[in-house]
Amino acid sequence: VTLLMDSFTRAFGGGSSNHFYPVVQRAIGVGSAFEGWRLRAEGALYHVLVPLSTPAGHAFHLEPDTGAKMPGSNFRVRVELECTCAREQLGDSTVLCFLHHSKEELSRRQEPSLLDTLCTGAYLDVEKTACWLYRVVRAEPLLLPQSYHGHLTLLPSSRSCKMQLSEGKESFVVEVLFGVRQGRSDIYVSSSQPTQVHLVPSTSWHETYAVAEANFFRHVARRAPQDSWHCKCLQFLTCTAMGTAFSAYALKTAVMHLLNTRPLSQWSGRDFLKRLVDIVDYLRCSLDKKRLDHFVVGNQRLPGEIRLPPDLQRVEPPNLFQHLACDPDAHREAVQVY
């Protein structure tokens, strides 16, 4: 998957400099497959996030999308044209200033701006961006790494780029999400679609913490002993709780909180049962309080290398058990399942 994504990035970086499409950065592996605890039930599915930056003469500005009517924080990516006259004065004639050249000259000498290709109004359009990604992948014959001898098939998706790779009887799917980074942090607004939401405006981008969480697992992997079983703990409990009142994300959140507070030397195989008990006890306390804090948002104890926007670090953490606090029947059921 990593080799494929490197080829993916090269395919998008090989275009003409006169084209003003988003600049594709190196893909980041996210989700359970890259965090080390993927479930067998998930099959061979890999999620990667491809950051997009602006082409010359453009800037991205994130605006809260209060009309999206989706759970979580949602944004729109406003695209603005920027003056590039200073570059022309320095002898760089590859980009004409969109603001200070006539439309006739621009249309004659230069490709259209991003506003005229992948935007709806002034906002970057998720579905148009996905179509553009599909077109490039379809037109790129050398996307597969030379060491891979299978076949690549594009799968339908309106808000991402899905690719199935197959070789003999084996196959796996890579879903390429794309996003815009919030400042210099590990938080992105992405093309991902919240579960159980069917109609999402094409200019709405969902705030995702997947990169920060994947970076936390990488942080733990670098510092934990080689015989650490923290991923096995999460995998075991998640498989056990499949189909119950506890989501995999809630269990993952509980494990991340404990990994951040308990010494990593205490997660070895000989401590496996003790750590399972700790996780289940943490879950019981959260059930009693009807509160399970989000691990990333509002967490003042994150490792220093996990970067958050200042306003996101200071807010009160969202309660992942809010539905249990609001619904006594759901809470009683969760207690019985526990």
Give the mean pLDDT of 305-333. 93
Residue 220 lies in a domain: no
More confident residue, 254 or 243: 254
- CA quadruple 283, 288, 289, 291: dihedral sign: positive
Residue ending a domain, among 213, 242, 264, is: 213
268 and 202 in one domain?
Answer: no
Q: Which of 161, 192, 213 is the last residue of a domain?
A: 213
206 and 231 housed in the same domain: no
Question: Which residues span the domain enclosing 317?
Answer: 225-337
Q: What is the pLDDT of residues 13-63, one digit of tens each?
A: 654 456 899 999 999 999 999 999 987 666 688 999 999 999 999 999 999
Residue type, 195: T
Q: What angle do CA 186, 192, 196 make, to 5 degrees?
A: 130
Decide if 207 is inside a domain. Answer: yes
Mean pLDDT of 193-214: 88
Closest CA to 24 of 57, 65, 54: 54
* Claim to verify: residue 26 and residue 171 sit in the same structural domain: yes
Closest CA to 129 of 202, 229, 46: 202
Give the integer Cα–Cα distance in Å for 111 and 129.
Answer: 17
Across the strands, what pairs with 162? 155, 175
User: Given this model, what pLDDT does residue 330 score?
Assistant: 93
111 in any annotated domain: yes
Q: Are residues 159 and 274 in the same domain?
A: no
In a domain, 120, yes or no: yes
Q: Verify that 178 and 235 share a domain, yes or no.
A: no
Instruction: Say which CATH number the domain at 293 has.
Output: 1.10.1410.40
Per the structure, the count of domains in the chain is 2
pLDDT: is 139 or 306 the higher one?
Answer: 306
Considering the domain architecture, whether residues 32 and 113 belong to the same structural domain is answered as yes
- Whether residue 4 sits in one domain with residue 86: yes
Q: Which of 156, 189, 213 is the last residue of a domain?
A: 213
pLDDT of residue 91: 75
In the prediction, which pLDDT does 16 show?
47
Record the tokens describing residue 253, joined without a space. 């959140």
Let me know whether 20 and 147 are in one domain.
Answer: yes
User: Residue 151 pLDDT > 90, yes or no?
Assistant: no
Same domain, 53 and 199: yes
248 in a structural domain: yes
Whether residue 205 is found in the same domain as residue 232: no
Q: Nearest CA to 328 among 292, 287, 294?
A: 287
Q: Are the beta carbons of 290 and 332 closer than 8 angstroms?
A: no
pLDDT at 138: 82
Q: Are residues 29 and 74 in the same domain?
A: yes
Domain of residue 95, CATH code: 3.30.460.90
Q: Average of pLDDT values for 229-239? A: 94
294 or 149, which is more confident? 294
pLDDT of residue 150: 76
Interval 309-329 mean pLDDT: 93
* C-alpha–C-alpha distance, residues 144 and 222, integer Å: 30
Percent of the chain with pLDDT over 90: 67
Q: Is 103 found in the same domain as 183?
A: yes
- pTM here is 0.91
Distance CA(261)–CA(166), nearest Å, equals 42
**For residue 234, is it within any domain?**
yes
Amino acid of residue 322: Q
Instruction: Determine contact, residues 151/165, Cβ cutoff 8 Å.
Output: yes
- And the tokens for 320? 């992942």
Show the beta-strand stretches assigned E in 252-327. Answer: none
Residues 63-91: pLDDT tens digits? 998 876 666 789 999 999 999 998 878 77
**Residue 219 placed within a domain:** no
Q: Is residue 84 part of a domain?
A: yes
pLDDT for 92 equals: 74
Separation between Cα atoms, residue 161 and residue 190, nearest integer Å:
13
Distance, in Å, from the CA atom of 32 to the CA atom of 232, rounded to the nearest integer, reads 12
What is the tens place of the pLDDT at every residue in 158-186?
A: 999 999 988 888 888 999 999 999 999 99
CA distances from 268 to 20, 36, 253, 278 (A): 51, 15, 20, 14
Pairwise CA distance, residues 290 & 320, whole Å: 9
- What is the rounded average pLDDT for all residues in the chain? 89
